[in-house]
Every structure is written in C-alpha cells, then in structure tokens.
Amino acid sequence: MTSRLSVAVLDDYQRVALASTDWTAVRVRADISVFDDHVTDIDTLAARLADCEVVVLMRERTPFPADLLERLPSLQLLVSTGRKNSAIDLAAAQLHGVAVCGTDSLSTAPAEHTWALILAAARNLDVELDNIRNGLWQSTLGRGLSGRTLGVVGLGRIGSQVAAVGVSFGMNVLAWSPHLTAGRAEALGVRAVSKEELFRSADVVTLHLVLSERTRGVVGKNELALMKPSAVLVNTARSGLVDTGALVAAVGSGRLARVALDVFDVEPLPADDPLRHTPGVLATPHLGYVADDVYSLFYSQVVEDILAFWDGSPVRVF
C-alpha cells in the first residue's frame, strides 16, 4: 500500500485556504495540515515541516532560507502564492532538489486597497470611527481630493490603476519611477516629473515600485522633507521602499500630516512597534491582496501546481 503524502499550508491567518477552492484531488493522495499561526523560529518550523513533501506559502509571510531548507529532507515542492517570493532562497532550494513554483495574482485588489487608505486618510476615517464609538460627533475636518495633486511612484500594473482613479476624481496626477517615459505617462493621462518635483508638489504620494537594491530606501529623510506638511504618504507596496525611522520621525513630529501603511518591516507588526501608536499613522495589517477573488485564484492554482508536479506535468516555475 502506498503511503500518503503530507502537505502543509502555512500562515492561513483567517483559516480560509481550504474553503477558497476544491482540494479534493489533493486530499485523495495527501493529508493536509493548515497552520493559522505565524512561526519565526527555525527549529519550530523544521520540526513542524519535517515530514512534509509539499509546503504552501502565503506570499512572503514565512521566509525559507538555506538553513531551513537543509533541515527538510522530505520536502519536494514549495508552492508560493504569487509570481515572486524574495523570501525563498532559490539557489538553496535547487541545491536540495526542491522545486519552487507560484501562482498568478490580481492587481485590482491592492489598487482598491490603496484607494481605501487614501480616502480614509483624507477624511480621517480612523479617527472618526474611533470617536463615534466614544460618543463624539464630527471632530475633524476632512480634505477633498478633486483639484489636488496625486503623486504616483511606480506606474506599473497597480500604479496605473491607482492613477486612473485619481484622474477620474479630478486630481492632477504626477508620476515618477526610475525608467518612466513621458509617453507612457501621457498615455495614462498623467504627467511624468522628477522625483523631487513629485514629492514637493503632491498632496498624496502613493508608492507602487517593486522592491530591489535600486529602489530600497527610495523614500528617505530628504524625500520626506520635500513633502508638504499637509501631505499624505501611502505605502501598499513594500516597506523596504521607505526609511521607517525617518517616516516615524516625520509624522510623529507633525512634519508630515498623515501616513497610511499596509506593509511593514516586520510582519505581523509587533505590539510595541511605534507605528501602532504614533498619531497620524493609519495602519492596516497587509490587506492589499487579502480579498476573496485573490485567494480563490491563489489556492486554485496552488492545487493545480501540486497536482501537475505529482503527475510530472509543467508547473508555474519561478
């Protein structure tokens, strides 16, 4: 009798992975273990995953460095949701004979969440929602967006959608990225400018760059100093794009009016992190891609990848 395989699904915080698609074809051949906690200790992870042939990762929540991979002799396949996962040591995976593959994603969800944060920050929804629960009424003055300037840093799949909404709201939309051309910007109804002009002119700056060695820290003390004291900085891309210490100092001192963040240097965000407690910070727990349509796509293709790997068919290799 053939022994059953073992599949682990990590970081399923809401415990929705198994309900997001039909796993029947996987269950026929394997036992599936779902973990809703986040584990950072390598010894604990190695013990938990010691007998697993397949591990499913939710984006970059749990890193897979070389010293973890070398302690998982049974591991044959890592499936990550999304097309990229910088938290996996791909060279080490290849060295240990572990195949790594991914899934498609949707750019609509993070673009929508970006606008949720922009609107919430502009109208102080976090403050007003808290105040109304405490018996207060109309305690702040929101800011209208029509006629004001939106600065989009990174005009790719997500940034272009964010820019289009800004145009529809009647905003003056500026854009900058290291390789952006005037023609690309004009085709989207926006204007390409220098980084300095964008940060100096924008009432709202929203970040949508891919994190790389070139873009890491692209927003630092100097860029923050250029921004209007009334401006809002929104980051739903990657925390490494911003100097977090400079950001906390800017908003904490009142130099910058508001910051709206969905990504952080350490996730889940520690309870004592200054970003949880600094006035002017609106923070959400990395919800940009946490939507039913995205999860349905993620996990349906996870199942496809697992079955294809077991059957020797092509998978969505990184």
Q: What is the identity of the amino acid at 185?
A: A
Q: What is the identity of the amino acid at 111?
A: A
Task: Count the neighbouring beta carbons within 10 Å of the beta carbon of residue 276.
Answer: 12
- Check residue 131 and give left, alpha or beta (phi > 0: left; psi -120 to 50: alpha): alpha
Q: Are 247 and 280 in contact (CB under 8 A)?
A: no
In the annotation, is 238 catalytic? yes
Q: What is the CA radius of gyration of the chain?
A: 22
Can you tell me the distance from the alpha carbon of 175 to that of 190, in angstroms, rounded to the nearest whole number?
Answer: 7
Can you tell me the distance from the alpha carbon of 151 to that of 47, in angstroms, rounded to the nearest whole number?
Answer: 47
Q: Are 85 and 318 in contact (CB under 8 A)?
A: yes
Distance of CA 296 to the CA centre of its chain: 17
In the annotation, is 267 catalytic? yes
Q: Are 99 and 78 in contact (CB under 8 A)?
A: yes
Residue 269 DSSP class: P
Q: What is the identity of the amino acid at 56?
A: V
Tell me the CA distances in angstroms from 201 to 74, 85, 317, one per residue in order: 55, 34, 42
In the annotation, is 214 catalytic? no
Can you tell me the distance from the alpha carbon of 127 to that of 137, in angstroms, rounded to the nearest whole number?
Answer: 11
Q: Which one from 267, 277, 304, 316 is the annotated catalytic residue?
A: 267
Q: Which one from 59, 223, 286, 304 is the annotated catalytic residue?
A: 286
Calculate helix-pair angle for 292-310, 108-122, nearest 10 degrees. Answer: 150
Q: Which one from 208, 238, 258, 304 is the annotated catalytic residue?
A: 238
- Determine the 3-state secondary structure of 87 from DSSP: coil
Can you tell me the distance from the alpha carbon of 161 to that of 155, in angstroms, rounded to the nearest whole number?
Answer: 8
Please name the residue that has the structure tokens 């991914």: 102
Here the tokens at position 137 are 């009424």
Residues catalogued as catalytic: 238, 267, 286
